[in-house]
Amino acid sequence: MGKLYERARSRPSLAVLAFPLIAALALGGPAVGRDDEDDPEAKLQAFTVQLKEHEVADTRHAATSELGKAEALRDKARTLTEKRKDRELLDRTLDELEATLALVGAKIVHAQAKAELDEQKAKMKEIQAELTKTKAAADEAEKKQAELAGKIGGAK
């Protein structure tokens, strides 16, 4: 796929264009122009639900700007659906909305991973500081023990 794709950059042909499309369809994920996703109203409804879910999930405000864009695209798609004209523009709007929602999802996941890593780093730092302090206290106590041992003879 990589080599084929490289060729596509230099001279796109219909076969080359179709290849990633077919691959994406075979994988069963969101792709361009799937037959079972041709109903724009159903698509819009699904994306609206997804958008709502992302808005709730974005507790760290990692995708505020993208959520705003997605809302605008949803509203645009809603208007176009109601007017029932310019199908091509509606399809484009929905495709862009789908991709924007994917980006929102990825930003939320990324922010979550980053926050968890930062939290773990803070935890590690705290424990390391505690370790340094405790080691110093233990060394001090053992030193004192060694000093006293000589005074009472026998105890180590």
Listed in sequence order, the residues at least 6 apart from 22 whose beta carbon sits closer than 8 Å to its beta carbon are none
For residue 2 the two structure tokens come to: 């990589």
> Pattern of binders to other proteins over 11-30, x per CB under 8 A?
-x---xx--xx-xx--xxxx
Residues 39-78 that bind other proteins (CB under 8 A): none
Q: Which residue has the tokens 């994988």?
A: 27
Residue span binding other proteins (CB under 8 A) among the ranges 40-48, 52-60, 77-85, 134-142: 134-142
For residue 75 the two structure tokens come to: 């509203």
For residue 91 the two structure tokens come to: 């399809």
| 3-class SS shares of the chain: helix, strand, coil, % to 5 | 85, 0, 15
Q: Where on the chain is the footprint of other proteins (CB under 8 A)?
A: 1-2, 5, 8-9, 12, 16-17, 20-21, 23-24, 27-32, 92, 95-96, 99-100, 102-103, 105-107, 109-110, 112-114, 116-117, 120-121, 123-124, 127-128, 130-131, 134-135, 137-138, 141-142, 144-145, 148-149, 151-156
